[in-house]
Structure 1
Amino acid sequence: MANATQYLDKNYPSSNRSSVINLDLSNKNFVGDLIINGFINLQKLNYSFNNFNGSISLSDCGNLEDLDSSFINAQESQWYDMAKLKKLKLSNNQLTELDLAGSSNLTYLEFNNNLLTELDLSNSEKYVEVNCSNNPSLSKITLPDSFVPVLFDCRNTTLGQVIFSNSSVFDCQKNTIIPQNTTTSNNTTTTTSNNPVTVTATPTTYNNPDTATTATATPTTNNNLGLKIGLSVVGIIVIFLLGLVAFLCYRRRIRKNGT
């Protein structure tokens, strides 16, 4: 099995690390610990698809914006305090705790297929995409004051309904926004999807943030409908009778001319 420290020392001498912007360590069969230091201008780091079941140390990474730490067999907790970090992938590990308090610019978070029980997203007001699906014990999620993501997926958790900052109610298990205060001629139907929901349209306002209730559809009654139908039938009968009278008069005239 390969050793990440030896690989870095051989391919990225300390004197050259400051010039590296993109570092790809994925799919190299690394095991054990991972120590990243000296890459002071690093913006993108990928060490996915390895087996870093030891400790992970990321120092001198203040300029990091994109980090892929998925499929590395990481366990227990992870802590990220990177002010410039925008994109973070941690999917398919065995993490039970995640601290994002110092990453206030995160816009993309992928944390699906882990063992999380709680998730605090209040660190950033800039979230666009969040995937925390397939965390079977996830029962609590804390959202920032401004949270209307373009993509949000929290299926296969124990979460029920989540209220976004625009007062729309999102059903985590059905993966859809629940229509509120809508009146139609048929029963309201909530559409489900197998893909992460795209939240682009602004739903109707939800007036009670404590109770998620789907509005009951009430058929619209037209009081003049019966009268209109009756008049239409009478009109048809009158036209028929006038036509019949004209036809009989025509036949009578022909008979007179014949005699």
Structure 2
Amino acid sequence: MVDANQYINSNYPFPSVNRTIIQTLDVSNRNLINTINLGPSENFTNLVNLNTSFNQISGFTLGLLPQFQNMDFSHNILTNFIMKNTLLLPRLSIINLSHNSLSDIGPGSVILTHLDISNNLITTLDLSDCRNLVKLNCSGNRDLSNLTLNPLFNPTDPNAFDCRGTSIGQVNTTSYTYDCRTGNRIQRATSTSKATVTVTNPAIQENNNNGLYLGIGIGVGGIVLIIILSIVGYLIYKRRPKKGIIKIAGGQYYE
């Protein structure tokens, strides 16, 4: 295991290495740990692509990176990240944060086009401002039940949207209905207007159905119990011993 900042300083020593001309920084699969610092003092001012995947990085610091577009922090141990920072990262449009331990990433920015947040601990995902979003993978977040998408989100590529393994039921876009439980995509009738994306949670419907089934079961069970008790009572009545009659003067005496 190597400290992430020590690795960068050893392999890209400043000022002997002109960091300002580096556009792609790939430190993936290097057994890096701790946090990584790409703040203003590190002089990666023209960085466009950053790949830190398959390490043990727990956090990072990013300064003003006006050219930064593509960030891959997948397969690390991140627990905190906020996407919406358009002032420092005005061109960041492709983000891969899959396979971390994130529970919240905040609202997405308007420039975001590709987001992979799969296999985290996300429960709520607000992408209502992401009108340029064309690809989203939020699968594997089993407690994700609140997803808000921009009405313009309408992927045509079958691999451009994945919501399997979440608590979401269906997602309806203008062109397709996505079943997050099965992964199936069904084409909808052609519409001239943009449909608002709707998300349903199957757990709620399942609970409602369970309550309905329970009520029906109790009602039917009660009726069956009444019928059984009636039959038992009738059989007992039929099998009772007949009382003998002894005639005596002045009337009858029942034994």
TM band (smaller chain): 0.5 to 0.7
| Structure-2 separation of matches of 1:126 and 1:14 | 37
Shift of 1:174: 2.4
Cα distance, 1:145 vs. partner? 2.6
Compute the displacement of 1:27 (Å).
Answer: 0.8
- What runs of 5+ residues in structure 2 fail to find an aligned partner? 201-255
Quote the residue 1:12 is aligned against: 12
**Quick one: which of 85, 97, 101 aligns to 1:90?**
97
Once the two structures are TM-superposed, the CA of residue 179 in structure 1 deviates from its matched residue by: 5.1
Deviation at 1:168, TM superposition (A): 4.0
Q: Are 1:177 and 2:185 an aligned pair?
A: yes
Match of 2:2, SS state, is coil
Q: Give the secondary structure class of the aligned counterpart of 2:32.
A: coil
Matched, 1:48 2:48: no
Query: How much does 1:205 deviate?
Result: 4.5
Identity %: 35
The whole-number CA distance in structure 2 between the counterparts of 1:5 and 1:169 is 45
- Partner-residue secondary structure (3-state), 1:74: coil
Matched ranges for 1:71-86 at <5 A: 71-75=75-79, 77-80=80-83, 81=85, 82-86=89-93
Q: Could you say what the CA RMSD is over the residues aligned between the two structures, in angstroms?
A: 2.5
| Letter aligned with residue 170 of structure 2 | Q
Could you tell me which residue of structure 1 aligns to residue 68 of structure 2?
64
Does the CA contact (< 8 Å) of 2:70 and 2:92 recur in 1?
Answer: yes
What is the CA–CA distance in structure 2 between the aligned matches of 1:122 and 1:14, rounded to whole Å? Answer: 41
- The aligned residue for residue 107 of structure 1 is 113
TM-score after normalising by structure 2: 0.66
- 1:121 corresponds to which residue? 127
CA distance in 1, matches of 2:75, 2:102: 11
Distance in structure 2 (CA, Å) of the matches to 1:60 and 1:23: 16
Q: In 1, Cα distance between the equivalents of 2:32 and 2:199?
A: 49
Equivalenced residues, count: 186
Q: 3-state DSSP class of the match of 1:97?
A: coil
Q: Paired residue for 1:236?
A: none
Question: Residues of 1 paired with 2:154 and 2:21: CA distance?
Answer: 37
Q: Judge conservation of contact 1:168–1:205 (CA < 8 Å) in 2.
A: no
- Within 2, Cα distance between the matches of 1:167 and 1:11? 49
TM-superposed deviation, 1:163: 2.1
Instruction: Give 3-state SS (helix, strand or coil) of 2:154's partner.
Output: coil
Letter in 2 for 1:159: I
Unaligned runs of 5+ in 1: 181-202, 213-259
CA distance in 2, matches of 1:14, 1:161: 51
Cα gap change, 1:99/1:57 in structure 2, threshold over 3 Å: closer, same or farther? same
The DSSP-based 3-state class of the residue aligned with 1:96 is coil
**Structure 2: distance between partners of 1:211 and 1:10:** 48
Look up the equivalent residue of 2:97 and give its one-letter code: L
Q: Deviations over 1:30-77 (max 9, x none)?
A: 111111132110000001111112x311113231111100001112x3
2:33 counterpart (31, 34, 38):
31
Contact 1:68 1:90 in 2 (8 A): yes
